[in-house]
Chain A
Amino acid sequence: MIVAVLSTFAVAALAPLLEKRLGRRAAPLLALVPAGLFVSLARHVPEVSAGGARTDALGWIAELGVSLSFRLDGLSLLMALVVTGVGAVVLLYAGSYMEGHPRRGNLLGYLLAFLAAMLGLVLSDNLVGLFVFWEATSLLSYVLIGFEREKAEVRASALQALLVTGGGGLALLAGFVLLGQAGGSLEIGALAANAEAVKASPLYLPALLLVLLGAFTKSAQVPFHFWLPDAMAAPAPVSTFLHSATMVKAGVFLLARLHPTLGGTPEWTGIVTTVGAATMLTGALLAVGQRDLKRLLAYSTVSALGSLVMLVGVGTPAALAAAMVLLLAHALYKGALFLVAGIVDHETGTRDVASLGGLFRALPVTAVAAAAAAFSMAGLPPLLGFVSKELLYDAALRASPAPLLLVPVAVGSNMLLVAVALSVGWGPFTGRAGETPKAPHEAPAAMWAGPLLLGLGSLAAGLFSGAISPFVSSAAAAALGAPHALTLELWHGFNLVLAKSLATLVVGVALFAARGRIRSLAGSLAPLAAFGPGRLYRAGLAGLVRLAKGTAALLSSGSLRQDLRIVLAATVALAAPLLLTRAVLGAPDALRSVRPLEAVLALLVVAGAVATLLAGSRLAAVVALGVTGFGVALLFLVFGAPDLAMTQFAVETLSVLLFVAVLRRLPRLQSRSAPRARVVDALLAGAVGAVMTGLVLAVHAEPLRSSLAPFFRESSLALAKGRNVVNVILVDFRGLDTLGEITVLGVAALGVWSLVRLRIASRGAGANGGRS
């Protein structure tokens, strides 16, 4: 399995090349990859249906329990079949849909790479491994939404999707780490086996909330649903594949996968069910008012995702089984409808449902596919959608906490969705022909084959729902964490559920008939959308950028003085309290007596420094600085360091000469600072000085016991054949210091030379770098 996923990535990388070589034949060829995967996966259906599972593992960071471990059980097989099946159809479709597009090869490559990532996601049994694929799908979704990158709003939608799902992804990462801590493993199977410990852990709630945040953003749950309709900026095959059939279901999949570990608690049921129900209703309400085919579908997808999340939240065997069937049914009918929307757009040049009609004549095959899918979505027997809706109602009725709340929400949402289904799959094909920018013709077979196949799939799966029962049951069992046997039937007899289904259809059809009025009502309510979470996202982003600009202005004033003040203030702030609380500050014992010459020299040094401070002319300052320098040299001499004194004299002389030579060419000294700035600077400078004085005194609080000084005094002559101990240290004991010192001098000389010699004229900002 691992090899299959990884090699799919490799094929994806080659896709653009292949397209360049083969042109239009590339897409069908590439579609064979997922088709082949589909077939080889399908061979495992009997085994998995019987409760078997296959695993495969590759260590990654074994010590930390991070691995690529795959598990093929009912749940992952169901998802994998959806991914590869829809994937094959979409690739075939995309080749034709993008005919003539200069970057068709890239799109095919991205789609295939996404497919591989999605496959890896659903097969993963290790949290971190799963996360790797999870983020890969987010990133590929960004690239795919932004495929038509020339438009600014396309780029903004891509970014929005990435930031919302990426932000959730980060929460998910933290949640996974906590989960691993609570359960002692990163393997999902091992965690499920340890579920009691996980639920008893104090980390349970934070882990749960973080994981839910990740799942909800990915699966476009309220209030994060807004990114999904905006993601419709992507080309139709992308919307079909990522934003309807697969990626947005990743969150649902994850919840189902972790249900055995995390589910069943009041927190789980409460939060997941509520958010799911709210999303189901919100999506349906927002959908009916739309005019754009793809936005209609997008909001109805939000609603379906809400239903799925709600079902996983309820978590009863019936609910999980319903979720599995709905997942499959939705992938089939919604995939088909998205592809149909793409065909309609492609052939007529518009997606506005108000101006579409009577397309059956021009697009008969597409119309058949559309009708099959729409009827499934509307829940008409004998399609799979009917079966799934029956199960949904049944699960809602039997939900333990609040059937009274869930049932009306589910029925109400589905009434609205019937209208949506008919608006997309029925309305455009019937009635009077509308005025469209292009005169429609039937799409090429490569395009209608997909929706037709998926539409017929809805029919076949509905008709033979008994046959797929064991397989669907095995998926539900994986989500349940216990064996579960369910028999799907089209006919349950006359009961409450059937009554609700009938009511749904009747009201839905009525709503469809009134769609014109609903749309104008929605149009008048449109300004309310400005208060949605999408606005919050945009305002948040803008606010963040403002905050960033403010911070940047505050922190990088560009003023050297300001920067220095902060650094010096930090120095005082860190060192002064430590000095006051931890060090002994007293008059040092060492060398308490003061000799007149020494005192004079010390005063000379300070006087020179003060004079430098006050000097009004460059020359005076240099002289004052020199006084300090020579004073320091004399202090060295007095305290037994003639070598230092000599060096200091020499260096001082050179420095003064250098200063004079350079400063002659510079402007005169001016006093520019404001009085207040001077006071602040003087206080800061005084504090720095005080800290340093304090440090010197503190060091003298204890006698220095060094084994080094005696060693050097004793070994200088004996071991290193030198009488001047300081020189011996410099050239021998610490010769490496001297090597570095000489290097510094050499580089300084090189630097002075190059500064004087090399002048590249400034040509405004950004004129440097590269020999352009």
Chain B
Amino acid sequence: MNLLLVVPLLVPLATAAATILLARSPRAVRAASFAGAAAFLAAAVALLGATLDGTILVTQAGAWAAPFGISLVADRFAAAMVLVAALLLAAVVAYSVRGVDAARERAGYHPLLHVLSMGVSGAFLTGDLFNLYVWFEVMLMGSFVLVSLGGERAQLQGALKYVVLNLVSSALFLAGAGLLYGSVGTLNMADAAVALRELPAQGLPSVVASLFLLAFGIKAAAFPLFFWLPASYHTPPMPVAALFAGLLTKVGVYALVRVLTLVFVRDTAFTGPLLLAVAALTMVTGVLGAMAQGDVRKILSFHIVSQIGYMLMGLGLGTRLALAGTVFYVLHHIVVKANLFLVAGAMRRAGGSFSLDRLGSLLARSPLLAAAFLVPAVSLAGLPPLSGFWAKYLLVRAGLEAGNGTIVAVALAVSLLTLFSMTKIWNEAFWKPAPAGADAAPAPLTTAERASLLGPVLVLGAVTVAIGLGAGVLYRFADAAAAQLLDPDLYVRAVLGARDGRM
């Protein structure tokens, strides 16, 4: 039993339980919540450390050998995803000290954050398709409650759409899992991968695969399945939106990467062009949607969609460089996107609104806030030397090396429009003088607010800068992760190595 794989599930669960038990004292809840997040982060660091040399860590839950029990598996990609999730959770918990109202905190806000994280880390680490469904449901249930917590009207309406569309996804996923078992007789991903090798590439499993693609496509907010996202992400408090924006869609992307590189690997003649077409449409519709918005939160929400397109682009191209680009993009994007939502919350606090019409002169009011915005915004727009540039560079290069100029042209054009969108926020909220007739300027941020709201933002910003300046380090990692993904045998051998009886 490798504890490294179990701790990332147990720590959030224990923290959730602790924060429920301590509910009477908000201070104790926050302390426990932060301690839990820190422990999760430490566990994630240890997990990543153990996978860096190429080891694929495997634990068979309950010590039942694969494929009979449930395997927990961590390769480089999975471990890195857990680490970024943990980093984000810690940032969000710290931000929540000032970024969330006391009423929500009393109503179970902190336990929900941790349950959500547990679901997310379970989804990254499981090697079993039905178990993945279960973790998706844990994650979804946590997010359902978080998105509706507070019960404001806009929030509830957004939540209803979010819930219904995600349940459709769950239904498709569940059906897919059942049908897969019905056709290959296993749910263990490694085992299914082996079983599928003996079947024709374009047989029934490839039909079943379409249900997975749809279910994960909805989660990932790919075109044309992304509607739940812009309908709901702007409604909850910003730390919640940040966590969602950073993690939830990326779990969908992760699942797509996992099943398409491990399980359904042999139908690339069909999935490749499909993914590229979806990627292009996702990029374009997302960015156009963003351009039409005048609310910071909605602009950011649509950009999530747009950038999912880039991640799918790498997966669709399918070369090693392209997959490395996807891995790089996902990791960078989680940090940057969540950060922007956190900044949006701070902008609301400093400027009194989320609406660009009513915001203004934030640069004069808080240069620190402006800097905190600029780093993730410039990175999102893909300008060097920040993380987003390298992510884009890898994908553009992969696309051109694969001879696919069209997708590259789309990706570059969309990146220009992303830049436009970010400068729109900058122009309107930071440069423009505060509009006359707007509400009186809110009081300047207190020291405590600066620490709680801007502290996490600056830490995430520093990560973005570090990724950019040390791009070689993350590239080497992403490349190694991509190599692992492209050789499913490594995964299969790690999971099924000893097939008989108890271990």
Does a CB–CB distance below 8 Å link A and B in the complex?
yes
List residues of A whose CB falls within 8 A of some B CB.
Answer: 59-64, 66, 128, 131-132, 135-136, 139, 142, 146, 149-150, 152, 155, 159, 162-163, 166-167, 170-171, 173-174, 177-178, 180-181, 206, 544-545, 547-549, 551-553, 555-556, 558, 560, 563-564, 566-568, 570-571, 574-575, 578-579, 582-584, 692, 695-696, 698-702, 704-709, 711-712, 715, 719, 732-737, 739-741, 743-744, 746-748, 750-751, 753-755, 757-762, 765-772
Q: For A769, give the chain B residue with the smallest CB separation.
A: B237
Which single member of B101, B115, B131, B401 contacts A743 (CB below 8 Å)?
Answer: B115
Note all chain A residues with C-beta closer than 8 A to B202. 582
A146 to B104, CA, bound (A): 41
Contact B479 A719 (CB under 8 A): no
Task: State whether A737 and B396 are in contact (beta carbons under 8 Å apart), knowing that A556-B289, A704-B183 are contacts in the complex.
Answer: no
> B20, B67, B183: which contacts A708 (Cβ < 8 A)?
B67
* Nearest CB on A from B458, distance (A): 15
A564 and B141: CB pair below 8 A? no
Q: Give Cα A322 to B103, complex, Å.
A: 73
Q: Collect the chain B residues with CB atoms within 8 Å of residue A63's CB.
A: 472, 475-476, 479
Q: Is B135 an interface residue (CB 8 A)?
A: yes
Tell me how far the C-beta of B19 lies from the nearest C-beta in chain A, rounded to whole angstroms: 11
The answer on a CB contact under 8 Å between B145 and A754 is: yes
Contact between A737 and B70, CB atoms less than 8 A apart: yes
Which of B152, B172, B185, B433 sits near A706, CB closer than 8 Å?
A: B185
Across-interface contacts of A767 in B (CB, < 8 A): 152
Q: Chain A residue with minimal CB distance to B183?
A: A699
Q: With a CB–CB cut-off of 8 A, which chain B residues contact A770? A: 98-101, 237-238, 345, 348-349
Given A177-B400, A708-B186: A737 touches B131 (CB 8 Å cut-off): yes
Which of B99, B151, B431 is within 8 Å of A759, CB to CB?
Answer: B151
Interface string of B119-146 (1 = CB under 8 A from A): 1001000100011001101100110110
For chains A and B in complex, what number of residue pairs have CB atoms within 8 angstroms?
Answer: 323
The 7 closest A-B pairs by CB, nearest first: A706-B185, A751-B145, A563-B227, A548-B291, A552-B292, A149-B431, A740-B134
Least CB distance, B131 to chain A, in whole angstroms: 6
Contact flag A173-B396 (CB < 8 Å), given A135-B383, A708-B67: yes
Bound state CA distance, A551 and B400, in angstroms? 28
Q: How far is the CA of A736 from the CA of B69 in the complex (A)?
A: 9
Q: Is B433's CB under 8 angstroms from A150's CB?
A: yes
CB of B354 within 8 A of chain A?
Answer: yes
- Contact assessment for B183 and A733 in the assembled complex, using a CB-CB cutoff below 8 Å: no
Does the CB pair B235–A768 fall under 8 Å? yes
Q: Is the CB of A719 within 8 A of B502?
A: yes
Interface status of B412 (Cβ within 8 A of chain A): yes
List B contacts of A173 (CB < 8 A).
Answer: 393, 396, 412
Bound form: Cα–Cα A560–B230 in Å: 12
Q: Name the distance in Å between B364's Cβ and chain A's nearest Cβ.
A: 9
CB of A311 to closest CB in B, whole Å: 30
Q: Tell me if B103 and A758 are in contact (CB < 8 A).
A: yes
Question: Assuming A66-B472, A558-B231, what are 20 further A-B pairs, CB within 8 angstroms?
Answer: A61-B471, A63-B472, A548-B292, A552-B291, A555-B224, A556-B227, A567-B224, A570-B225, A698-B204, A698-B207, A704-B185, A708-B186, A712-B68, A737-B70, A740-B135, A740-B138, A750-B20, A755-B148, A769-B238, A770-B237
Contacts of A739 in B (CB 8 A): 13
Name which residue of chain B comes closest to A173, CB basis: B396
The reply to whether B237 and A768 form a contact with Cβ atoms under 8 Å apart is yes
Q: Does B384 contact A (CB under 8 A)?
A: yes
Closest to A206 in B: B405
Supposing A711-B68, A769-B238 touch, asked if A563 and B115 sit within 8 A by C-beta, the answer is: no
Q: List 21 A-B contacts (CB under 8 A).
A: A149-B432, A163-B416, A177-B397, A552-B288, A552-B293, A555-B285, A567-B224, A583-B204, A695-B179, A707-B185, A719-B502, A740-B137, A747-B138, A750-B20, A750-B145, A751-B144, A759-B151, A762-B154, A768-B235, A769-B236, A771-B98
Given the complex, which residues of B lie within 8 Å of A761, measured CB to CB? Answer: 152
Per-position 1/0 for B485-499, Cβ under 8 A of A: 000000000000000
Known: A564-B168, A758-B151. A163 touches B420 (CB 8 A): yes
Q: Given A206, A549, A760, which contacts B152 in the complex, CB threshold below 8 Å?
A: A760
Give the distance to chain B from A58, nearest Cβ to Cβ, in Å: 10
* Distance in angstroms between the alpha carbons of A548 and B298 in the assembled complex: 13
User: Chain B contact residues: over half helix, strand or loop, or mixed?
Assistant: helix
User: Which residues of B have CB within 8 Å of A732?
Assistant: 62, 64
**Distance in angstroms between the alpha carbons of A170 and B400 in the assembled complex:** 13
Complex alpha-carbon distance, A115 and B383, angstroms: 18
- Which partner residue on chain B sits nearest A740 by CB separation? B134
Which of B112, B204, B236 makes the CB contact (< 8 A) with A701?
Answer: B204
Does B46 reach chain A (CB closer than 8 Å)?
Answer: no
Contact assessment for B107 and A754 in the assembled complex, using a CB-CB cutoff below 8 Å: yes
B216 at the interface (CB under 8 A from A): no
Q: Decide if B61 touches A735 in the complex (CB within 8 Å).
A: yes
Residue of A with least CB distance to B421: A548
C-alpha gap A179/B96 in the complex (Å): 48
Pick the residue among A170, A712, A765 that contacts B154 (CB under 8 A): A765
The answer on a CB contact under 8 Å between A563 and B431 is no
- Are A737 and B353 interface neighbours, CB within 8 A? no
Q: Would you call B231 and A159 a contact (CB within 8 A)? A: no
The residues of A that contact B238 with a CB separation of less than 8 Å are 769-770
Complex Cα gap A745–B73 (Å): 26
Tell me which of B34-42, B49-57, B157-165, B329-337 binds A. B157-165
> Do A704 and B182 contact each other (CB < 8 Å), given the known contacts A159-B427, A177-B396, A564-B165?
yes
Which B residues from 380 to 400 make CB contacts under 8 A with A?
A: 383-385, 389-390, 393, 396-397, 400
Q: Known interface pairs A740-B134, A743-B13. Does A135 touch B384 (Cβ–Cβ under 8 Å)?
A: yes
Q: Does B85 interact with chain A (Cβ within 8 Å)?
A: no
Q: Which residues of chain B are within 8 angstroms of A206 by Cβ–Cβ distance?
A: 405
Contacts of A702 in B (CB 8 A): 183, 204
Q: Are B289 and A552 in contact (CB under 8 A)?
A: yes
Task: Decide yes or no whether B437 CB sits under 8 A from chain A.
Answer: no
B152–A762 touching, CB < 8 Å: yes
Scoring A547, A711, A719, A771 by chain B CB atoms within 10 A of each residue's CB, the highest score goes to A771
Residues of chain A contacted by B401 (CB below 8 angstroms)? 177, 181
Chain A residues within 8 Å of B353, by CB: 766
Interface residues of B in 246-303 (CB under 8 A from A): 285, 288-293, 295, 302
Say whether B208 faces chain A, with CB atoms less than 8 Å apart. Answer: yes
- Chain B residue nearest to A147 (CB atoms) is B431
The CA of A571 and the CA of B352, in the complex, are separated in Å by 42
A695:B161 contact, CB within 8 angstroms? no
Q: Which residues of B contact A547 (CB under 8 A)?
A: 288
Q: Which residue of A lies closest to B358 (CB)?
A: A766
Supposing A170-B412, A575-B211, A737-B130 touch, asked if A743 and B118 sit within 8 A by C-beta, the answer is yes
